[in-house]
Structure 1
Amino acid sequence: MKDISVNWKTGPIYKEVVVIGNGPSGLALSYILSGRWPYYNGKSHPDPMLTLRLQSLSKSQSLLEQDLAFLSQGVEGRGSSAVGSLLDAMLHPGADQGLDLDPLIEWRCHKRIDHVVIGKGPPGETMDSNILTLSLSSWMELPGLRFEDWENEACSGSNGNRRVRVSKVAKYYQDYIHKQRYHFLFSTSMYL
């Protein structure tokens, strides 16, 4: 176990929040802590009941300030987290039915919360690079950077929404923190 202060050149530092783990959840949380909050954009979802619940929301409040238990009622998903399934349903509406619809979330600027994200290695590095993802590439996306857009720029073209090598997802995660301009918030080689 390493003392967290030994990796900082200036000695101990103090942050309001420490995010432990720099996988996809840690990256997404850092995006929110960096001052980008999700809002419902008013579009309809293929599930009419979810659309009704979403339309009851206050447009001036972020989804973070809403009753997520109420919103996630009846939302089906692959994972065990109801809120995670709601987020998936809003970011990729109808994806389980093969639909490619625009997200129901827009990201708005808010006050940044001082934080650091710590992990054992660079984001995505612990994944086996020789295997294909189980999910389509769009399901690997992080807020604020579509995988297809990144792939067009970084890989000279996209092969569409299909399964990709895990090494490509790891590269996407590493490029993501630089494109969002918060690579300085990440510290690797940390063990707690």
Structure 2
Amino acid sequence: MTTASVPKMPGSAGMSKTSGGMPWWLFLITGTAWIIVSWFVLGFNSRSVASIAALAGAVVLVAAIAELFQMFTAPGWKWLHGVLAALFLVTGILCWANPGKTVFWLAAFVGWYLLFKGVADIILAFLTKAENDAWWLGLIVGIIEMLLGFWAAGRFTRSLYTLIVLVAAICLARGITDIIMAFRVRKLQHAE
């Protein structure tokens, strides 16, 4: 993201084109909300299969909305964001349609997703090292996501507990990412 040639529009207090028109504090609020959700998810146990699958479906549907937003606003890889949005949408709907029977499949899906997202976050951390002071945090999140993805890919017999940990990890990673984004957007807005 560059701040050059991004004019401030009259009446756009706290808004910037670098954030897709979203105020920086909104990322801070959503990041905090994701961290709180991850804390609640870890409180689930094996008797709450339907609740876990429904919550996982909600998390996946929110990820579908985020990917749709990225498809229209990201400078590149629009087709990949579109494919991910469609995949997340179908997965989220299946989770809500039949929560009890989708647990094993959902755990596998989330495990593979974390594996690929971890690799992407590690690459992105190194690519943005020059512009991003907190690049190392993205690297750490990517490594944790990758390790959780490997762990989930090999442990489908414990899929319910895997799903609990993975949903909590996704929520936590999203929360950390949104909070980092809030401070990056705030810094870019102050540089304008």
More helix by share: 2
Global fold match (TM > 0.5): no
**TM-score, normalised relative to structure 1:** 0.28
TM-score by length of 2: 0.28
The structure with the greater share of residues assigned to strand is 1
> Which structure has the higher relative contact order (CA within 8 Å, separation 6+)?
2
